[in-house]
Amino acid sequence: MAAPETQLMLSIGLIEKDVNADTLWVWCYPSVSAELREVLLSKCCLTRDSQGLNTFVFGQFCRTWYYISTVEVQEPTALKKVTHFSLVVTAKDFNPEKYAAFSRVLCRMYIKHGSPVKMMEGYIAVLTKGICQSDENGSFLIKDYDVRKAYLAGSVKDVVSQFGMETIILYTALMLKKRIVVHHPRIEALLEFTRALPALTWHRKDWSILHPYVHLTDSELENLRTCTGYVAGFVDPQVSNRSDLFDVYVNLPDTEITISQSAKEAMAMGKLHKDIGLVIVQSAEDADRTDGQVIKDISIKTREILANLASLAEDCENSKITLENLKQRHFPPATENFLFHLAAAEQLLKI
């Protein structure tokens, strides 16, 4: 039997656009729920008018990751009346590079044979053996795609080069498990930026907070509201009016970060934040340091803060911190405030 990581895939599906410009969900294996299918169709660029082709997009809905690869069919091919098609892979894990590579192999199979049967065979081969081999369509080996590589593929250095010292706002929001909404009209820019943000809190290695491609629909917003903190990406500029969805709003085209009124107290900045901000900026601006090294530098600073918090908790009843305990330490107000909210986020607060 294949290694556990092969068991992370859930399904493959096929959306086609024909010569009459009709777009239909035509096939899937083994199955996709009606609700998820509706979301996937809305994410597929073939269902939207007068927009360019997004060759690869990914996102998350109800704890299921989806990866959509779209291809324009070039004549001659076994696909007679199809002008474009999208291959949809759903899975339990975040790994865009892995599923993009696998999808490329499956798409080539479909173009060559014009039937989903070969794709299904490739899918089952990866599910059972972790490998899909084919001379003419390329090969795919699941163990080439370590999840840590996926976590490190986003660039924290790029985030800091855009926002400089204001990156501390994003760091603080992530540490406190706040709701971050990011807007950019281009889906590629949105995916690239949002996927990097969870790396600022590397100690958690939690990419489940990432919802990089969300529409303002009831089902998707309902799903978002079940999450305590998140990083959510929107192409629709209307999201800026939805203050019920965010604590921190990032307008990427204008390089602006706004803290919502309701989050200002928890997000109040002080000397500690300035110190962390300097560590982030100095590390990221060092041309000799890789993204991995920058993440490590930030992580060391984070662990220092968490170690201080843990030692405070040890001195408290049931290892849980109270506001009274923090006040006895005479921290500056902004530091006390941050540690109080951080203790809540790390479940070290006595309720």
| pLDDT range class, residue 350, cuts 50, 70, 90 | confident
Q: Cβ distance 257 to 167 under 8 Å?
A: no
pLDDT tens digits along 295-332 = 999 999 999 999 999 988 887 878 788 889 899 999 99
Beta partners for 28? Answer: 13
Please count the helices (runs of H) and the strands (runs of E) in the chain: 12, 12
Q: Are 159 and 196 spatial neighbours (Cβ–Cβ below 8 Å)?
A: yes
Domains and CATH numbers, the chain: 9-149 (3.30.450), 154-350 (3.40.50.11500)
Q: What is the residue type of 15?
A: I
Query: Using the 8-state DSSP alphabet, how is residue 149 labeled?
Result: H
Phi, psi for residue 172 in degrees, rounded to 5: -60, -45
Q: What is the H or E stretch that residue 337 is in? A: helix 333-345
260 pLDDT above the threshold of 60: yes
User: CA-to-CA distance for 46 and 90, rounded, in angstroms?
Assistant: 18
The pLDDT score that the predictor gives to residue 192 is: 97
Question: What count of Cα atoms within 13 Å lies in the side-chain half-sphere of residue 249?
Answer: 19
Mean pLDDT (the chain, rounded):
93
SS3 263: helix
β-strand partners of 293: none
Question: What CA–CA distance (Å, rounded) separates 208 from 205?
Answer: 9
Q: Is residue 145's pLDDT more than 60? A: yes
For the chain, how long is the longest CA-to-CA vector? 77
pLDDT tens sequence across 19-32: 898 999 999 999 99
CA atoms within 13 A on the CB side of 213: 23
